[in-house]
Each structure stands twice: as structure tokens, then as C-alpha cells.
Structure 1
Amino acid sequence: MESAQITDDDREGLRRAVRSLEHPSLAGRLTSLVGKPVELIGAALPAAASKAIASATSKGLEAALKVALRTLPSSTSSGSSVLLHRALATASGAAGGTFGLAALPVELPLSTVIMLRSIADIARSEGEDLKDPGTALACVEVFALGGRAGSTDASESGYFATRTVLAKTVTEAARFIAERGVVKEGAPVLLKFVSQVAARFGVVVSQKVAAQALPVVGALGGAAVNYAFIEHFQEIARGHFTVRRLERLYGKEAIRAEYNVISAQNVSFCKQR
């Protein structure tokens, strides 16, 4: 299938994926929501807050990884769960808006697991096998893909650059899980994977915390922030697993080449406007 021509429908699907994956700015959504530049506020959080965010981010990802590797195949719900997961994450975000940073150690792991289940539903709808350790790791990988700035280099997309950084660890982790058959969360290769994802995921968590910490937000605003948070990662997941589905159909090299062509066209269009 690697030499097959990409159909018009699949090329359009790839275009949508490029739009989602190359401009994944949660900061822009939150700034529009709260009326303040949360990207700058998040970068200026005090050291104690940054430490708490880093700890909660790692715990959230560890919980998500455990769910991904142990329970996804048997407990993932139907494809109609996108709105349900948004509702659940929105409700958990209300606590963040009410209690602020103090609620983060409880609220973030809960939100992360809810998002992970939604991501898994999207993966399955794009033909992924949730029993495959590589698929489970790809679900967690979404948190890294959604935690970076948009790419400005048309010749090498930010999306593929991030996948390349994670590729070796993902491969080693998948092999470890396949060979052992039993997941040991403390295994160095899994800890390394969580650490790499956390470094990127923590960026958007800081922005979320900054938005929820604003006096004007409160419980209702905190819920709206979490709604934007999960919607952001659902869009990233749809783009990511669309690319993976097309790679299985046409080959990785063909899809990467087409992806970069579309990305370059988008950058060129933006510069002309």
C-alpha cells in the first residue's frame, strides 16, 4: 500500500490533522476565555507553584499510564463518550477554580485519566488496537504533543519533531511491556517516558493553573477552563491517530512527505495574509 495514491478524502483528513497538530495553542483559548495572557502568567508562577505543578503533572501521567496499560481494552466506552468525558473533566475543573492550587494534586490526576480514556476512544475509532502496548503509549504521548508551541519551520514539523524525540523511549517501553507481560510502573524505561511527556505536558498545565488562579475565574470559570483543556487534547488526539491510520495505509514516509507539504502550504498562506 505504500505506493498507493492518497485519496481525496484521506488528504483532506490529513489537512485537518495538520491544522490541529501544528497550531496546538491552549494558551490562545484560555486567553480568550479569561481575557488575560495566561501564557505570560503561567511562565511567571512562583517557584512553589511550579514545583507543585511538576509533582501533580508527573502523578497525573503515572496514573494515566497505569490506566492505559492495564484497563483500556476492557473498559473503554463507546465512541459517543467524547461529550461525556468533556462533562466529567469540566466538573473536576470546578474544584480547581474553587480551591486553586491546593486542589491540583487531586484534580489533575483525575482530569488526566478522564482525558486518557477519551483519547483512547479516539484512537480506537481510528483503527488502533488498544491491547497493543504501542497504542497505549501513543495515547499517553498525546499529552506531549499537545504541550508544545506551534511549529514555524515548514521543512520539519513540530509534530514529527516531538514524535522523533519520544520514538526511542516509546519503542523501548513497548518492547519492555511486551517481553515482561507485567507492567512495573517503577521500571526505568517507563519512568523515562513519563518524564519526557511531563516536560511538555507541564507547560499547558501551568497555563491551566494560571487561568484558574485568576480572581475572576472561580468554580464556574474553572469548569470552563477544564472544558477547553480536554477539548484541546481531544483535537490533538484526533490529528495524531489520523496520521497513524494514514501511515498504516500509505506508509510512514509517504504520509510524512505529504504532511510537510501541507504544513509548508499553510505557513506560506499565513505569511501572505
Structure 2
Amino acid sequence: MADTSWLREFPQMDRMDLLEIRKTLDSAYREFSRSYGDSIESFFDPLLHFLVWFEQLLINSPWWAVILVVTALVYAATRSWKLSLSVVVSFLLIGYFGMWEDTMSTLSIITVCTLMSIVLGIPIGILMARSDRIRSFVTPVLDIMQTMPAFVYLIPVVMLLGIGKIPGLIAVVIYAIPPVIRLTNLGIRLVDPEVMEAATAYGASPMQRLFGVQLPLAMPTIMAGINQTIMMALAMVVIASMIGVKGLGQPVLKSITNQYFTLGLFNGLAIVALAIIFDRVSQAYARRTQRHSNGGRNV
């Protein structure tokens, strides 16, 4: 039997001291939420209004108009009739099985979360690629964000902002944003130094090198990051439904608590259909971007 006597000699924090630290931190956060919760909530009001407007737009628009617009966007991004037809069939089946409104709610929050992740994540990734100091600071934060259990994100957000769409949206963005940050940084760093030297020799400014050379060449890698962000956001939908986010996650949660197998299965398949559509569209767009950056050659 292994000798464990050394464990008794290992320095441990006194239980009372630990309890006091936890109480102090809990009371400090409660005080912060009481003092600044209303201000923070009012800061997110424009985002809430936009999310509600976009959700109502999708729900109240005629089903055929939504399918037509989505299919047109898919074809514009992929130039694939097969994928466009698959989108039409998937949405028709979703409507036929009575999941249209929940799907539109999910589509609205995933779209807004993805746009927020892109707007916030790509600039952070660019800063990481341009500064090793920033990368050394941001990388551990991303490690924590990616390894922290998803339920933990809900605790401080709900304590600060309560139950509703915005807390769910913030939790989804925190959970889903790391891939786009990491892969933006990676894509820019993988740009051939000789290409950058040639751009500098032609007199390109730093901004011209960034937007004219680095970002176009890094776009396939950035699109892979956006793809992973969308997948993680969809994975968070069911968890976010626990704090009032409408969509396909709520019927799945209801099926778990009430043991409704068919309800959970159908809504789960609808989430899978959205995930496959987003995945195929982003991958096809990334391949088109890569072919364009390689002068039209097949890769």
C-alpha cells in the first residue's frame, strides 16, 4: 500500500479561512450586481431591441419568404444547387413537424451571437497576431473559457442580469468566441513572410498589408474558426434555454424533464439540421475563398 503520510504534512488552507474568502467574494459580487446591474442592463438594451426585432421579423415573415432568402444566401455563398435544395427540404420538414417558430428563434440568436463573435473575435485575433505580449495575455483567458463547464457561464450572468435573452446571448458568446479568436491569430501568423516582404517592398502601409494581404490569405483559416464558433453556439442553445432563451432548446429541456422522447428527438434533429446547414455553407465558402486566394487553382 502506498505511503500517504506526506498528505498530512501538505500545507492546507484552514477551512474557516476558505469559507471566509468565499463569503467575501460572494458578497462583493452581489454588491457589484446591485450597484451596476441596472447600468449594465441598460447598456445592452439596444442589442436586446435588435435581437427581439430580428426574431419577430423571422417569425412573422411568410415561411416561403424566409426559405427563399435563406436559400438565396446559401447559394450565393456556396454556388451549390444540391446544398440549396437540401436547405429547402430541411426547412419544409421543420415547418411540417410544427417547429418553425422555435427554429426561427434559434436561428435569430445564433445569427446575432455569430455576428457578435466575429465583430469582437477577429479584432482580438488580429491584435494577438501583431503582438506576442497580447497573445501571451489572451491565450490563458481563452484556455479558461474553453475548459470551463458551460453551466458555470450562466451563474455570474444570471446574477448580474437576471433571466432573459441578453444573459443567454452573453453566455453563448463567451462559450463560442474562442475558436474565431484563435484561428484568426493562427491564420495571420501563417501568412508567408515573403509575401509580406513583397507587399512592404511595393510600399504598402501596415493597414494595406493587413486588409489587402494578410486577411485575404488568412480567410480560409478564419472561416474555419467561424465554423467552429457556430457549432459551439448551437451546442449552447439547450443550456441557454435554462435561463429563458426561446428556441429549440426549450422543447429539448422540456422533453428531458417530462420524458417526452419524440419531442426531444424531433427538436434535436432540427438543431442538427441547422448545424449541418451552417457547417456545409461555411466550409463551402471557405473553399471558394481559398481557391480565389490561390488564383483559381484547385486546392
Q: Does the pair score TM above 0.5?
A: no
* Higher RCO (CA-CA < 8 Å; seq separation 6+): 1
Richer in helix (by share):
2
TM-score (norm 1): 0.33
TM-score (norm 2): 0.31
Q: Which has the larger radius of gyration?
A: 2
